Amino acid sequence: MPVRPKPKPAPAPAPEVLARLRAAFPGADCSLEHADAFQLLVSTILSAQCTDARVNAVTPALFRALPTAAAMAAAGPELEELIRSTGFFNAKARSLRGACRAIVEQHGGEVPRTMEELNALPGVGRKTANVVLGNAFGAPDGVVVDTHVGRLARRLGWSGATDPEKVERDLNALLPREEWVFAGHALILHGRRTCTSRSPRCSGCLLEEICPKVGVTSATKPGVDRQGTPGSRKPGAARAGRRR
């Protein structure tokens, strides 16, 4: 007699998940300190493979020395020294100079406001562009999908994809546009504090009884969920997004 496959667990109800996350994290916001879109773009590029706390410690001196896209595009070796402690500083410096040069030459020194234009800048992928569009301009093109958001999207049954852009498409279709920015921040916070990659704290989790826990096993390894999704990105990649 053929063995019947196990029924697929129902995904967690999105409205209830968002309501509970909003109650738990009412002030969920961008943790990268910035005064404008330029500073946020630079900080987000620097945050690849680096904590936001480290980026926030580095950027005050960086922006005092190189306050504009023109200044950063023309910067010499001082740029590498100023960002050295964020890791992969040579690759990040190349991305920053390239992005700032394009901003000066193609956009009059102002950070562009569309996904297409941001995504064309060196070192800027969809994830970084959505951080800037959502937090600096209030007009996200989609949910920011980092390692935490991708992991939670799979565990909640919201996406079966491992590619961040496919996860983003699934979340964009599922969640109301007005919730995209909040959802990204709140899922990241929940992923950091409770739904961790290794040994998630399911007992007592605010989503425990509504979460299907897809891929959660006692053998979950550091940085990898059961679907084999790495919990890290390529260091210094030109399209690297943010680690939050």
Shortest CA distance to 172 belongs to which of 184, 162, 163, 160? 184
pLDDT of residue 138: 96
Could you give the CA distance from residue 153 to residue 121 in angstroms, rounded to a whole number?
Answer: 28
The count of domains in the chain is 2
Hey, what amino acid is at 214? Answer: V
Whether 163 is covered by a domain: the verdict is yes
Residues forming the active site:
127, 146
Give pLDDT tens digits for 203-232: 999 999 999 999 997 644 444 444 444 333
- Pick 72 or 230 by higher pLDDT: 72
Whether 118 is covered by a domain: the verdict is yes
Q: Are 102 and 122 in contact (CB under 8 A)?
A: yes
CATH number at residue 93: 1.10.340.30
Do 196 and 150 share a domain, yes or no?
A: yes
Give pLDDT tens digits for 137-196: 999 999 999 999 999 999 999 999 999 999 999 999 999 999 999 999 999 999 999 999
Read off the pLDDT of each residue in 44-69 and give the average, rounded to a whole number: 97
pLDDT of residue 7: 74
Whether 187 is covered by a domain: the verdict is yes
pTM above 0.75, yes or no: yes
Read off the pLDDT of each residue in 129-144 and give the average, rounded to a whole number: 97
Read off the pLDDT of each residue in 76-95 and give the average, rounded to a whole number: 98
Domain stop point among 102, 135, 168: 135
What residue numbers bound the domain in which 117 lies?
A: 37-135
Burial degree of 76 (CB within 10 A; 0-12, 13-18, 19+): exposed
pLDDT band of residue 92 (cuts 50, 70, 90) is very high
Other beta carbons within 10 Å of 183: 26
